[in-house]
Amino acid sequence: MKIDVTFSATNLDELQLRDKNVVVIDVLRSSTTVVTALANGAREIIPVSNIESAVKISASLLGDVTVRGGERNGKMIQGFNLGNSPLEYTEGAVKGKSIIYCTTNGSVAMNKCRHARNMAVAAFINISKVAEFMAQVNDEFLIICAGNTTVSHGFSMEDAVCAGMLIHKVQEEQQQQVEFTDTSTAALSLYRTHGRSILKMLKNTDHGKYLASIGFDEDLKACAKVDSVPVLPMLVGTSVKLPKEDQRAPDAEIPAVATPNS
Ligand code: MLT
């Protein structure tokens, strides 16, 4: 299976992605947050490209089941309910909710994939689950690193290392024959060089240092926990959801207390 990588989503046109198999990576923090929110029971994530769209869409949805989440410069957008720290997307905050989601790069990249044949969201926290999915599809894939337009000229080391780890898992653990391009070769090399300690790597990235400087160092730890949230967010129409088998079971009935004669 051929795996290609793009290190930035900025120049991607949504029509280029029509009918393609794609994986979107934005480790710090959009894809980690989307995985976490859905694993904690969010009904869906609706990724949008700008704040105006977020306001318009949320106005058309029922208020009690809709929240707005996202960031600008890493901080919560004024008038939103949630920022973009995965630690905010607890069960209490998101269970059963539709989340209108607007971030600088991650939600834009996800939104561009709405005509893709398959679109999965990957981070370190669900990476083996995504590798398994790619092996099941066993067809050509484009891994889209959302990148980081606020610093480092668009390139994001954390996204590239995550893409390399994903390719490594598809090749080594899923035993797939991978056909490489220059960018997927580069991503695998970056993983082999920088992937020994994910948290250390995140702390040394431009965006990791920026997030730590504005008080989000705990997020780096959450984003570094490989396979800690093994679910597979997929694009369904214009929303990102979990397949039935990954959805939280409804609150289990509390078993009736056995009575002495039962
Ligand atoms: C992004 O979408 O560019 C990032 O996730 C922004 C952030 O959360 O700091």
* Predicted confidence (pLDDT) per residue in 100-115, tens digit: 999 999 999 999 999 9
Pocket test for ligand 1, best of 8, 10, 25, 26 (most atoms within 8 A of CB): 26
Return the residue matching tokens 């926290």: 125
% pLDDT > 70, the chain: 94
CA 222 to centroid of ligand 1, rounded, Å: 14
- Lowest-pLDDT range, 5-14, 175-184, 235-244, 253-262? 253-262
pLDDT for the residue 258: 44
% pLDDT > 90, the chain: 84
CA 177 to centroid of ligand 1, rounded, Å: 33
Alpha-carbon gap, residue 262 to 250, rounded angstroms: 26
Alpha-carbon gap, residue 132 to 137, rounded angstroms: 9
CA 255 to centroid of ligand 1, rounded, Å: 42
Determine whether the shortest distance from the Cβ of 111 to ligand 1 is under 6 A: no
- Lowest-pLDDT range, 24-28, 58-62, 180-184, 186-190? 58-62
- What residue type is 67 in one-letter code? V
State pTM to two decimals: 0.93
Rounded mean pLDDT of the chain?
A: 92
The token pair at 242 is 């979990």
Q: Atom 9, ligand 1: which residue's CA is nearest?
A: 74
Determine whether the shortest distance from the Cβ of 205 to ligand 1 is under 6 A: no
What pLDDT band is residue 191 in, cutting at 50, 70 and 90? very high
pLDDT for the residue 204: 97
- What residue type is 175 in one-letter code? Q
Determine whether the shortest distance from the Cβ of 71 to ligand 1 is under 6 A: yes
Beta bridge partners of residue 68, listed in sequence order: 100
Atom of ligand 1 nearest to the CA of 150: 3
Contacts of 54 (CB under 8 A, 6+ apart): 48, 68, 70, 77, 80, 100, 101, 102
pLDDT for the residue 64: 77
Determine whether the shortest distance from the Cβ of 74 to ligand 1 is under 6 A: yes
What pLDDT band is residue 247 in, cutting at 50, 70 and 90? confident
Torsion, Cα 33 35 37 42, to 10 degrees, reads 150
Q: Rounded to the nearest 5°, which phi and psi values hold at 154? A: 95, -25
pLDDT for the residue 68: 96
pLDDT for the residue 60: 81
H/E/C letters for each residue in 127-192? Answer: HHHHHHHHHHHCCCEEEEECCECCCCCECCHHHHHHHHHHHHHHHHHCCCCCEECHHHHHHHHHHH
Q: Atom 3, ligand 1: which residue's CA is nearest?
A: 105
pLDDT for the residue 255: 44
Alpha-carbon gap, residue 116 to 139, rounded angstroms: 13
pLDDT for the residue 5: 98
The closest of 145, 140, 151 to 164, measured between CA atoms, is: 145
pLDDT for the residue 262: 37
